[in-house]
Structure 1
Amino acid sequence: MDSDEGKLFIGGLAWDTTEDKLTDYFNQYGDVTQTVIMRDKTTGRPRGFGFVVFSDPSVLDRVLNDKHTINGQGR
């Protein structure tokens, strides 16, 4: 994740959310080039947040204006 352009912070994720689930969900807004769920360095357990990167940063406005439920967690 070298560039911040098109990158979106995703917080409040369910513990069992995977990168694939994030990609599948956010592909409805545009081409997702990368997803990452942050993990504890010691245990490897998810920390409840991550990032999604879109190839076209202009889709961020649409994403931010919608409410989202991902893997049972609503935001």
Structure 2
Amino acid sequence: MLKLKALAPLKQPYSLYFFSIYEPLPPDDFRMFCGDLGNEVTDETLVRAFNKYPSFLKAKVVRDRRTNKTKGYGFVSFKDPVDFTRAMREMNGES
């Protein structure tokens, strides 16, 4: 199971480095920051960890544009705030 040390909801109106720079967040897009990711974590790793939630939309590990190495963080997006909250709690080890 993927262990994440930092999970946090993002504030409106902008999410940096998630699919495009300064992409405005739609009102029904609930994104969380996933931090302290190891070098082995890929977009697909995050997808596998979060796609069990019905409203999961997308996941992205942020990488250095020059080296393509991970920067150690990423973002996961949900359509439903209930799934978002449930994922936050479960990934942080809460029931």
Identity level (%): 28
The residue aligned with 1:40 is 64
Q: Report the 3-state secondary structure (helix = DSSP H, G, I; strand = E; otherwise coil) of the residue aligned with 2:85.
A: helix
TM-aligned CA deviation for residue 67 of structure 1: 3.6
Question: Contact 2:34/2:75 (CA < 8 Å) preserved in 1?
Answer: yes
CA distance in 2, matches of 1:31, 1:62: 11
TM-aligned CA deviation for residue 48 of structure 1: 0.8
Give me the CA root mean square deviation. Answer: 2.1
CA distance in 1, matches of 2:58, 2:91: 21
CA distance in 2, matches of 1:67, 1:25: 9
**Amino acid in the other structure paired with 2:63:** R
With normalisation by structure 1, the TM-score equals 0.74
Larger Rg over CA atoms: 2
TM-aligned CA deviation for residue 66 of structure 1: 1.9
Q: Which has the higher contact order (CA 8 A, sep 6+)?
A: 1
Query: Cα 1:37–1:63, aligned 2, differ >3 Å: closer, same or farther?
Result: same
The residue aligned with 2:5 is none
CA distance in 2, matches of 1:46, 1:67: 20
Q: 1:26 aligns with which of 50, 58, 63?
A: 50
Aligned residues: 69
With normalisation by structure 2, the TM-score equals 0.61
The residue aligned with 1:61 is 85
Question: Contact 2:55/2:83 (CA < 8 Å) preserved in 1?
Answer: no
